[in-house]
Amino acid sequence: MTAAEHPPQTLRFLAQGLLGFESVLDYELSAYDQETPFYWLRASSDPDLAFLVMEPGLLLDDYAFDLSDEDAQALDIQSPEEILVLVILTIPEDPLQMSANLLGPLVFNRRTHLGRQLILDAQRYPLRFPVLPAEDEAPAC
């Protein structure tokens, strides 16, 4: 699924926003580029505060975690189809070293647009998962 398949929408974090930006609760989610799987998660109150995000299933087919009953209730999740999971990308000076934070996914309800950031088990998911394959893993031409 590409970012182009999702129209821009307003998302709101419950109680606290992203780690390090706890007081910012309202964001706009929009396609980064119509040809990529990336989105911008941009603060509604400060357009300069923006995060590049993507759906983690595009990186790992088996990316999964249990959503607690407390989180599901707070987000008013009524069915699994309502869940949208995004991960924040970090782009260092060398963009080929881009990584995804699989440890702290963002979970939203597609129906209500409410969300929160979770912290998963560090034993299972890394803070910095490579988005692009290493050169030695790249397909041969």
Question: Is 140 inside a domain boundary?
Answer: no
Report the CATH number at residue 51: 2.30.290.10
Its domain, for residue 61, covers 3-132
Question: Is 138 inside a domain boundary?
Answer: no
Exposure pattern of 74-94 as b/e (b: 16+ CB <10 Å)? ebebeeeeebbbbbbbeeeee
Total of domains in the chain: 1
pLDDT in tens, the chain (141 residues): 444 455 568 999 988 899 999 999 999 999 988 888 999 999 999 989 999 999 999 999 999 999 999 999 999 999 999 999 999 999 999 999 999 999 999 999 999 999 999 999 889 999 999 998 776 554 554
Exposure pattern of 5-39 as b/e (b: 16+ CB <10 Å)? eeeeeebebeeebbeebeebbebbbebbeeeebbb
What's the pTM value of the predicted model, to 2 decimals?
0.87
